[in-house]
Amino acid sequence: MQTNARRDGDEWVITGQKHYTTNGTGWDKTGCELYTVVCRTDPAAGADDALAVIAVPGAAPGITVAGVYDKIGHRGVVTPRVHFDQVRVPAANLIGQPGRPGKQIVTGAFSWTAALIGAACVGTMRAAFEYALDFARTETRLGTVPVIEHQNVGFMLVDIKMRIEACRYLTWKACHDFERTGGRADELAIMTKVYCSEAAVETVYDCMRVVGIASYTKDLAPLEKIMRDAMVFPLYDGGNQGVRRRQLHDILRHPGYDPMAAARGDGLPEDQ
């Protein structure tokens, strides 16, 4: 978090860069009407002391759309680079308070998106599976029966389907618990993001293995496009390695952590 907000009288002065801010420029790629900018009020302090969320009008002087990333997949959204150069906003535009309250705002915002990514992963896996299943039912290749009759193909499809259903029910439970507890039960939501996103990449690849080399072409099968979209799931909305596993690690480290709370649907201790 390298974007800083410096207090100057009755204003915050924001300087830094925000990349991968999905649809943060609108479809015309010129900018949006309002940003919520996550920044540090003290560049030398950690997130628990200095993380802040500030509302910034899109028309404020000093905001520049530096460009848009050309991604290999997930092309239905605009992924811009937005730069802030001495952008001044009223001090009252601070949302919450710097430090732990600001960190909790950010964590809460990313928790509900984590659960919903599970649904996107399930849909992606389902599309790949249904194509591979139809292929296996109809193609004989050099044999005399459809390839689904062979154990190696059939067993692979079985494993794929079980993985999809596991992700589907994990997503349902995570969303239910998150809504029921007002966002406090975020452990399953974060787990959903990590597990389902990585399962999606593995599943689409297995579907490609069922279909064979034709799955790697743009002309003969939709699986190459599905794979390009699936590959972003572990990387975006808080990368699994740099963000999500760290969040789960923090949950496990908490003195009041109950390893069965998520299974029971109890929510979290008041002080967590």
The residues annotated with a catalytic role in the active site are: 237
Residues near 144 by Cβ (< 8 Å), separated by ≥ 6?
none
3-state secondary structure of 56: strand
Evaluate whether 20 touches 69 at the Cβ level (below 8 Å).
yes
Short-list 251, 248, 236, 215, CA closest to 121: 236
Residues near 261 by Cβ (< 8 Å), separated by ≥ 6?
185, 187, 267, 268
Q: Which residues pair with 83 in a beta bridge?
A: 17, 64
3-state secondary structure of 160: helix
Q: Which residues pair with 39 in a beta bridge?
A: 52
Please tell me what DSSP assigns to residue 217.
S
